[in-house]
């Protein structure tokens, strides 16, 4: 599995485990809903700023959104 796919899956999984729906996450993160959905579906990649906004909205860190495999390969 490639890195962008792993990242999209991890972000989706984390959002699913939260109590926020996509509309509320869009509002709290400042990412337009259509953009957020497009990125969650894997049609385009997240920017670091977007990951930071999502993490902040979920009360997490960016590292919480990144799969362990990606973090380990970057070390």
Can you give the residue ranges of every domain in the chain? Answer: 3-74
CA distance 2 to 9: 11
Mean pLDDT by 10 residues, the chain (75 residues): 82 92 95 95 93 96 87 75
Neighbouring residues of 46: CB distance < 8 A, sequence distance ≥ 6 = 7, 8, 11, 39, 54
8 CA to centre of own chain: 6
- Dihedral of the CA atoms 47, 52, 58, 59 (nearest 10)? 170
pTM of the predicted model, to two decimals?
0.87
CATH superfamily of 3-74: lambda repressor-like DNA-binding domains (1.10.260.40)
CA distance 68 to 25: 23
Q: What is the pLDDT of residue 22?
A: 93
């Amino acid at each position: 599995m490639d890195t962008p796919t792993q990242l999209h899956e991890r972000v989706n999984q984390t959002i699913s485990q939260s109590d926020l729906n996509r509309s509320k996450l869009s509002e709290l993160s400042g990412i337009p809903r259509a953009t957020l959905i497009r990125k969650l579906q894997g049609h385009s990649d997240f920017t670091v700023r977007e990951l930071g906004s999502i993490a902040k909205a979920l009360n997490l860190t960016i590292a919480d959104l990144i799969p362990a495999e990606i973090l380990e390969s970057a070390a």
